[in-house]
Structure 1
Amino acid sequence: MSKPFQSFMEKLIDYAGLFPPAQLPMEKAIQQYAEYRKSPDAGMLSRFICPAARLRELQPYQDSLFQEGEPFRFSVLGRSGKTKEEFLAGLEKDLEAIREFLEFHQGRATADVLEVRLPGEALHSPGASATSQLLSAFAAALEKNGPPEVAAYFEADFISFGKEWKKVLHAAVKGIAEHNRYLQRGNKFTRYKSAGFKLRCGGVEPQMYPSPEQAAAAISACIDQRVPLKATAGLHHPVRHFNRAAKVKMHGFLNVFGAAVLAEAHNLSAEQIQEIIEDEDASNFIFTRRAFAWKNLRASLDEITRARQNYAISFGSCSFDEPREDLRGLKLL
């Protein structure tokens, strides 16, 4: 395994076995995650994604599973809400669930990432100010009642806005960028570290998959605004391809995260990013001893590491086996 490939894949996959299409019971999902933590490929594995409302289901594993190795790391999925009021009320319930979870597990589990969908009400408001104002209230609640250290990722359902999708996307990302600047002013936030954008790359229905143009626009906006990007759904496989069962072209994680790495390294346009997103030829994605390359674009080990640490964070996958099997098929593992 080359160092550039190792850096590219380092903690890239958040395990989402509780969610479709796998939708495993909690017992099986957490046990599988525990086994993956001990596997030779554990370096690719990041957090276990769990809804805040289901954290109590993990209590039976405190005296057994959770005593093995390093503390178990969790990314918590918040309740959200259709309105701003529902969103903030859901946040209070989420924070209470996280507080109880951390107290019960006494250092054997961490919950330092919170993922939540922005309410449609905020997305319908013009400009970035509505998002920024909502997130200021979010920040106050998180700083008051949140875990000791937490980063938040906000999903915006921009693809459902038809012809207005680009305006909604840019307003959401710009609002998160303004929010990050707000967090950095005055040093009044000690718990809440940063905010990022969560890009949904698929789902149980074909219409839940963003087009290559939409995915590229999201990556471009995040790089331009210096907003960390996390992805979810539809990225089980390395390279873009047509999935007969789902009847849709699925995005590849080498495409999405390779595009993000190269966009950061070369200041690529959205159109150039889209070319990488659309590529279905696995042979164009190359890892050498010194770099990652797509066609004539290269990113050095340092550029890969910097992009992964700051902007191209991770993606949620209900399978850890499928990505590994495909990477072995490509002779990358």
Structure 2
Amino acid sequence: MNLYLALVDDAGLFPPTSLHMSEALARHQRDLERASQVLTHRFLCPASRLDGLRREEEAPPRRIGLIVDTPDIPPFDDLPVDSVELRADALDQLPGGGLPAGVRLFVEVPAGKYVADVPEGAALKVRCGGLTADAFPSVEHLAAFIRFCAEHDLQFKATAGLHHAVRHFDPTLGVDRHGFLNLLLAVCEAVDQRDPAPVLRTTDVGHLVRLARAVSEETAKRARALLVSYGSCSTGAPLDDLRALGLIEENA
């Protein structure tokens, strides 16, 4: 089903995995060879590490998502960058002429607040977790964000915290982690004009699997037109979870 097609960006350089550049590129190459359709095969790279990427002997990834973590956006014309992600408070870093043709802009906004004046054609990005409990948005805030995007036909990406398919409690941080399957099905609910909050909140694995199997192709298409992808520091865990739940085939 198209619901899981090109869903997961490779965020191996980011916490908590925080791979060394050579390790991240080697894993990315292995993923390319395995050709899973669930992965976007887009390598997310902080702007501050572009020079390190260039120094690697391995060929660069075929697609790079540039995550702006520097005071200025560095030149990237020599690399296959297809998207740039930056926080809403850093929009003044954008060049006057905008980004090069073919490079998509994603503007990160807090789940509980929305930016009305993002550049025309830009999409949004929402953070679903982090290294501390306060980095995880509430179900209500995340649901409101999803509804906002659905109502205004605004595409978005998600990042951080979505380590497993199903919502679960993290005793180390003392917080409930959002599940990427919960998020995906919440978007399906929103595009069908239903409240996404109950699906975001549930920890009932069987219920989520039944919902996932009942999603129509039309709903899946509209949901994935809204949710572009999400970044995961592990490219294996999402595949393992979807296989364990029986939602994808072994070789997907």
The normalised TM-score by structure 2 is 0.89
1:61: Cα distance to partner? Answer: 4.3
Which SS does the other structure have where 2:164 is aligned? coil
Residue number in structure 2 paired with 1:209? 136
Which SS does the other structure have where 2:196 is aligned? helix
The superposition leaves residues 93-121 of structure 1 with CA deviations (integer Å, 9 ceiling, x where unpaired) of 31x4212x33xxxxxxx21110001218x
CA RMSD of aligned residues (A): 2.2
- Kept after mapping to 1: 8 A contact 2:38/2:239: no
Which SS does the other structure have where 2:162 is aligned? coil
Q: Is residue 152 of structure 2 the alignment partner of residue 200 of structure 1?
A: no
Q: Is residue 47 of structure 2 the alignment partner of residue 52 of structure 1?
A: yes
| Equivalenced residues, count | 247
1:284: Cα distance to partner? Answer: 1.4
Residue number in structure 2 paired with 1:74? 64
- Kept after mapping to 2: 8 A contact 1:111/1:147: no
Residue number in structure 1 paired with 2:234? 319
Q: Letter of the aligned partner of 1:303 in structure 2?
A: T
Which SS does the other structure have where 1:223 is aligned? helix
Residue number in structure 2 paired with 1:37? 32
Residue number in structure 2 paired with 1:28? 23
Q: Letter of the aligned partner of 1:249 in structure 2?
A: D
Residue number in structure 2 paired with 1:8? 3
Q: Letter of the aligned partner of 2:23 in structure 1?
A: K
Residue number in structure 1 paired with 2:162? 235
1:139: Cα distance to partner? Answer: 6.9
Residue number in structure 2 paired with 1:98? 76
Distance 1:244 1:325 in 2: 22
Give runs of aligned pairs for residues 274-313 of structure 1, distance below 5 A. Answer: 274-286=197-209, 292=212, 298-308=214-224, 310-313=225-228
- Kept after mapping to 1: 8 A contact 2:67/2:84: yes
Residue number in structure 2 paired with 1:190? none
Residue number in structure 2 paired with 1:19? 14
Distance 1:306 1:273 in 2: 15
User: Of the candidates 94, 101, 109, which is equivalent to residue 156 of structure 1?
Assistant: 109
User: Of the candidates 185, 192, 195, which is equivalent to residue 258 of structure 1?
Assistant: 185
Q: Letter of the aligned partner of 2:170 in structure 1?
A: N
- Kept after mapping to 1: 8 A contact 2:209/2:245: no
Distance 1:205 1:26 in 2: 25
> Sequence identity, in percent?
32
The superposition leaves residues 297-318 of structure 1 with CA deviations (integer Å, 9 ceiling, x where unpaired) of x53213212321x211111111
- Kept after mapping to 2: 8 A contact 1:261/1:312: no
Distance 2:135 2:75 in 1: 29
Gaps of 5+ in 2: none
The superposition leaves residues 116-170 of structure 1 with CA deviations (integer Å, 9 ceiling, x where unpaired) of 01218xxxxxxxxxxxxx67x847342xxx3331111111235xxxxxx4xxx14
Give runs of aligned pairs for residues 146-185 of structure 1, distance below 5 A. Answer: 146-157=99-110, 165=112, 169-170=113-114, 172=115, 174-176=116-118, 179-180=119-120
For the pair shown, which has the larger CA radius of gyration, 1 or 2? 1
- Kept after mapping to 2: 8 A contact 1:243/1:249: yes
1:273: Cα distance to partner? Answer: 0.9
- Kept after mapping to 1: 8 A contact 2:155/2:227: yes
The superposition leaves residues 7-42 of structure 1 with CA deviations (integer Å, 9 ceiling, x where unpaired) of 1111110111111101111110111011111125x2
- Kept after mapping to 1: 8 A contact 2:160/2:232: yes
